[in-house]
């Protein structure tokens, strides 16, 4: 099991006071683990991310990126990701977990919960509070039955990611992702919902509660 000193931290947060508070808390909990980036630029943060990084990520960075896009950029570097956000809608939680987050907690959570979440994420596990897990479970039963891969492809693509980016995130060839999306289109077409274009898929995913 890796020790705290084997990890560095990245903090993506656009609110200066919260950024300072998160950094202070991490320094106190993990004094041997450096914070290699603090700020709100997801592209800059990604340059400091690798498989030995724990990224603490806020979703509302004021840069007009979707929540799934923010997480996918960091996830592409292999980092372990703990989302700490005030955005608690079930659809947001679902989309960022599919995009590559390993944990999700509210900014209202306690310090003890914060440490529990970080420890789970940095040791290779996933973490959700019971409330978050319940929110995810509530949107699994849509109007059509989608496989996990079909749901992932739909959420990532409908969130605005390019087909090639979706393929990279899912570890698949673009042609395979296209096949999944075509299956999604066929399933929704069978119940009378138009899903031909990306915008159609976006509206379908929103209506199903899969994206905010």
Report the Cα–Cα distance between both ends of the chain, in Å, rounded.
36
The confidence score (pLDDT) of residue 170 equals: 87
Compute the distance between CA of residue 92 and CA of residue 37 in angstroms, rounded to an integer: 25
Beta bridge partners of 35: 9
| Of 85, 124, 80, nearest in space to 104 by CA | 85
Beta bridge partners of 105: 84
CATH number of the structural domain 4-137 = 3.40.50.2300
- CATH fold for the domain made of 148-207: Arc Repressor Mutant, subunit A (1.10.10)
The confidence score (pLDDT) of residue 1 equals: 44
What residue ranges of the chain have pLDDT lower than 70? 1-5, 87-88, 130-131, 134-143
The confidence score (pLDDT) of residue 92 equals: 81
Per CATH, 4-137 and 148-207 having the same topology is answered no
Model confidence, pTM: 0.71
Compute the distance between CA of residue 172 and CA of residue 110 in angstroms, rounded to an integer: 38
The confidence score (pLDDT) of residue 109 equals: 79
Q: What are the boundaries of each domain within the chain?
A: 4-137, 148-207
């Amino acid at each position: 099991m890796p020790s705290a000193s084997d990890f560095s931290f990245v903090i993506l947060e656009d609110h200066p006071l919260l950024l300072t508070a998160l950094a202070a808390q991490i320094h106190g909990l993990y004094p041997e683990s450096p914070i290699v980036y603090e700020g709100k630029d997801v592209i800059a943060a990604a340059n400091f991310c690798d498989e030995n990084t724990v990224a603490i990520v806020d979703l509302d960075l004021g840069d007009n990126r979707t929540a799934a896009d923010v997480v996918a950029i960091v996830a592409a570097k292999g980092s372990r990701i703990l989302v700490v956000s005030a955005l608690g809608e079930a659809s947001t939680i679902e989309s960022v977990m599919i995009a590559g987050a390993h944990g999700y907690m509210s900014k209202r959570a306690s310090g003890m919960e914060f440490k529990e979440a970080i420890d789970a994420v940095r040791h290779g596990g996933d973490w959700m509070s019971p409330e978050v897990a319940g929110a995810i479970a509530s949107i699994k039963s849509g109007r059509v039955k989608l496989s996990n891969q079909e749901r992932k492809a739909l959420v990532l693509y409908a969130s605005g990611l390019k087909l090639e980016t979706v393929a990279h995130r899912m570890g698949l060839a673009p042609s395979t992702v296209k096949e999944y999306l075509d299956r999604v289109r066929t399933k929704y077409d069978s119940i009378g919902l138009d899903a031909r274009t990306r915008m159609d898929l976006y509206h379908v995913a929103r209506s199903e509660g899969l994206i905010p």
